[in-house]
Amino acid sequence: MLRRMFATRAMHSQRQVGERAAQVIDRVIFDMGVERLVQGSFGLDRHCRPHFSSAPAARGRDVVTVALAQLAECTALSGVAKRDPDPAVLRMYKAAVVDGLLREFRARSPRFRALPVVQAAQRIAERSAPDSK
C-alpha cells in the first residue's frame, strides 16, 4: 500500500510526458544551466516517465535513452542561451527541445507510441464544450 501511495505514477498520454519533460527541462536549466542540460540525456522508463541524467546516455532503468547533444534543437538552444536572449525566445527554443525529445521517444519506443496523444477525459470535455460561434 505504501509503495503505491509514494510511487510516481505512470504517464497516461503523450501530452503528459511532454509536459513533464518541459518541467524537468525548466528545472535543469534553472539549477544547472543550459550547457549542463545539453551534455546530459533523457530516459523514458517502462512506465513512460521521463528522467534526466546529467551524465551521457546510459541504459540502466530506462527503456529508451536520448543523448541531448544529438538533438539539433539542443544545439540551437545552446547557441541562443549564450547570447543572453529574451525569456520569450528562450521558451520557444525550450518548446522545440521538448518536441524533438518527444519525436525521439516516438521513434524509439513502442510503449510511448501506444499512449494516446491526449487523455480521454480531455477529449470528452473538448467534444462536449459548446461552440464559440
pLDDT tens per residue across span 22-64: 999 999 999 998 999 999 999 998 888 899 998 776 666 668 8
Q: Hunting for cell 505512470 — which residue is that?
A: 10
Half-sphere exposure of 43 (CA within 13 A, CB side): 16
**Length of the chain measured in residues:** 133
pTM of the model: 0.78
What is the arithmetic mean of pLDDT over 77-98?
A: 89
pLDDT surpasses 90 at 93: yes
pLDDT surpasses 90 at 126: no
CB-CB contact of 77 with 94 (8 Å)? yes
Three-state DSSP class for 97? helix
Chain center to CA of 13 = 12
- Per-residue pLDDT, 56: 73
